[in-house]
Amino acid sequence: MDVWKVGIMINDTIAAGAKTTAMTPIAEPLTLPCGVRVKNRFYKSAMNEALAGRDCAPTEEHVRLYRTWARGGAGVLVTGNVMVDRTQLGEPGNVAVEDERDLNMLRRWAAAGTEHGAHCWMQINHPGRQSPITINPHPLAPSTGGVDGEYGRFFAEPTELTHERIRDIIRRFAATARIAKKAGFTGVEIHAAHGYLINQFLSPLDNRRADEYGGSLENRARFLFDVFDAVREAVGSDFPVAVKLNAQDGVPGGFGEEESIWVMKRLEARGVDLIDVSGGTYAKPVIRTNGGAAEDRRRGVYFTDFARRVKGELTVPVALTGGFRNAADMERALDEGITQMIGIARPLALVPDLPNRIIRDRWDGSVELPRVTTGIKPLDKAFVGILVISWFELQMNRIARGERPDLRIGGLRALMFAMRRHGPASLAPRRRKGRQ
């Protein structure tokens, strides 16, 4: 099936009962350590929707987008990262939840995301120093020292967190999780990957503290464990709490695989319900280029070598995220036991009912991500990270307005969309999500 055919088929009705669901392991329910059951193995990974309204409030557009995804058949829908502090955003258009002021809209969002027996989990995050200067001149971090490399100038020098501020942020994670549960979200995912604040604490490069939050791995992981324990206490033992963690940062001297496995085991002992495996930092993003399907074919499913290493070491379910484009790869990964859930992001911004197509219709094609380009080489080069992210945000925005994704949209329109919606701030490099 070619790309355009996938595009025009989106939202077409699917003939009911075409095939039995027992035929694929992707359709099998999974019971999490907390006792909660999810209906199948599709784990829609977090994608910042960039749809927040004034003051970082959720909107009617979130409701429509998640209703579409819930209708599409995934077992779990993880929201885009929701910030615990509206003065500390990771990118323009983030939702922030600090208190109950938006409870009604959060309720509507959660209700839409849990239709058709789907789970809807809120991803909770603090960006630390990865908060662009255009929206935050005063970022916070475990230690001073800005973002390295060519993008460094887009981030202000962070202030080192005091103990009091660390305690405040831990309390904020717990508060956001408690409100998520009250609003009807059926789980939460703590974002500890992709170079954000918790990842900064874990990284020996970014964390040069001399107190109990720095130095040894045990100390660097303390912030994550404190956040996890506070969130668990806020939501109770029977509510899913997942953690998105880097397999490794992909930077010499950064948080590495041995360390990641150690952290995973400790999280398992603390009662985590699922570990969403990702990776990378600013220096080496997962969405490396705008290469689309050609890049996908070269890379295959991300982090499989790491997942093979972890297999047998953990009993907690894993969601391997990145690079899943077809049922054959998904089934192989489940059969091999290297993952228990299929973490999938970009394809669901193009084919929101991909889970139903694969489980109910046994569609055996491959979702071909297009190469996103403005057609102007220097522009492509200057905005490569933003280009791809903005293009997918534009597709989510279309679904949120009741339109179909449109694969013909070019990179220039995506950049203009980002500019129109978020102003010049959108042209600072957003975090490069899901890095390897």
Ligand X SMILES: Cc1cc2nc3c(=O)[nH]c(=O)nc-3n(C[C@H](O)[C@H](O)[C@H](O)COP(=O)(O)O)c2cc1C
CA distance 342 to 344: 6
- Considering only residues 6, 26, 34, 47, which one is a binding residue for ligand X as defined by CB under 6 A? 47
Stretch that binds ligand X, among 41-49, 132-140, 231-239, 258-266 (CB under 6 A): 41-49
CA distances from 106 to 122, 173, 181 (A): 10, 16, 10
Which residues within the stretch 184-243 sit at the binding site for ligand X (CB under 6 A)? Answer: 191, 194
CB under 6 A: which stretch of 14-22, 160-168, 235-243, 340-348 binds ligand X? 340-348
Nearest residue to ligand X by CB is 434
CB of 196 to ligand X, least distance (A): 8
Tell me which of 24, 248, 278, 304 binds ligand X, using CB under 6 A.
278
Q: What angle do CA 199, 202, 206 make, to 5 degrees?
A: 80
Residue 206 or 393 with smaller CB distance to ligand X: 393
> What is the SS3 assignment for 137?
coil
Task: Show contacts with ligand X in window 62-91 (CB under 6 A).
Answer: 80-81
**Considering only CA atoms, which of 225, 232, 224, 227 is closest in space to residue 200?**
224
Quick one: which of 346, 357, 360, 422 contacts ligand X (CB under 6 A)?
Answer: 346
Among residues 126, 181, 232, 244, which is the contact residue for ligand X, using CB under 6 A? 244
E strands, 1-143, where?
30-31, 37-38, 42-44, 76-78, 82-83, 95-96, 119-125, 140-141
CA atoms within 13 A on the CB side of 296: 16
Minimal distance, residue 115 CB to ligand X, in Å: 22
State the binding string over 165-194 for ligand X (x if CB under 6 A, else -).
--------------------------x--x
CB of 51 to ligand X, least distance (A): 11
421 vs 345: CA distance, rounded Å: 22
* Shortest separation between residue 86's beta carbon and ligand X, angstroms: 16
The structure tokens 């490569």 sit at 384
Half-sphere exposure of 91 (CA within 13 A, CB side): 25
Part of the chain binding ligand X (CB under 6 A), chosen from 64-72, 137-145, 222-230, 322-330? 322-330
**What's 116's DSSP letter?**
G
By CB under 6 A, residue 344 contacts ligand X? yes
Applying CB under 6 A, among 58, 323, 370, 429 the residue interacting with ligand X is 323
Binding mask 378-397 for ligand X (x = CB under 6 A): -----------x--xx----
If the CB atoms of residues 181 and 191 are measured against ligand X, the closer one turns out to be 191
From candidates 286, 351, 394, 418, binder to ligand X by CB under 6 A: 286
User: What's the length of the chain?
Assistant: 436
Dihedral sign (CA 385, 416, 130, 195): negative
Residues 390-429 that bind ligand X (CB under 6 A): 392-393
- Of the candidates 141, 150, 259, 299, the one whose C-alpha atom is nearest the C-alpha of residue 208 is 141
Q: Which residues pair with 120 in a beta bridge?
A: 77
Please choose, out of 13-21, 24-32, 44-52, 235-243, the segment that lies near ligand X by the rule CB under 6 A: 44-52
Q: Which stretch binds ligand X (CB under 6 A): 46-54, 58-66, 95-103, 179-187?
A: 46-54
Token pair 């200067």: residue: 133
Burial status of residue 381 (CB atoms within 10 A of its CB: 0-12, 13-18, 19 or more): exposed
- The residues in 134-163 that bind ligand X, with binding defined as CB under 6 A, are none
In whole angstroms, the minimum distance from the beta carbon of 103 to ligand X comes to 22
List of E strands, 172-221:
187-192
Strands of 147-263 (E only): list them: 159-160, 187-192, 241-246
Q: Point out which residues bind ligand X (CB under 6 A).
A: 45-48, 80-81, 123, 191, 194, 244, 278, 286-287, 321-324, 344-346, 389, 392-393, 433-434
